[in-house]
Amino acid sequence: MEDQHLGQLLRELPREQARTGFTARVLAGLEEPSPSRVRWQPRLAAAVAVAVALASGLAYNSRLEAERAAKVARAQQILHELRAEHGRIKKELEALPESPVLYLGGDEKTDLVVDMGQVRSAASTEDMQPATYRYDTF
């Protein structure tokens, strides 16, 4: 159909008439806002805001709890591993033969140690002298 033909058909339809007082009621409704509509909108907005804040707070709290639980589980696992390693090292140290070794010092390349099992024992402390002690210096 063409627009002109459609326009002609619409003009041929009978005109509808509004009931009496329709215009006055509409204009009165526009001038005076509905009290129920004004009263409920702020309350609804506040309720929605509180619900959103509560939901986001709960979600944030549950996420923090999950992170905390994961950290605690990881710390417990590390503690268990450290205790197991400590036990292994303790057993290894107890299994080592007792050899009196004196550590004198060293650097990154060399460590100086004296195996006291190879040193003959002195009969008394009078026989002992420091390595730097010399008779001719006094």
pLDDT value, residue 2: 74
Which has more confidence, 110 or 11? 110
Q: 138 or 128: which carries more pLDDT confidence?
A: 128
Any idea where the domains of the chain sit in the sequence? 23-118
Is pLDDT at 19 greater than 90 in this prediction? no
Name the more confident of 101 and 108.
108
Tell me the per-residue pLDDT of 108-126, one tens digit each, with 9 for 90 and over.
999 988 887 776 666 666 6
pTM of the predicted structure, to 2 decimals: 0.39
Closest alpha carbon to 113 in 100, 129, 127, 98: 100
The residues facing 112 across adjacent strands are 105
Place of tokens 């080592």: 96
What residue has token string 């696992």?
77
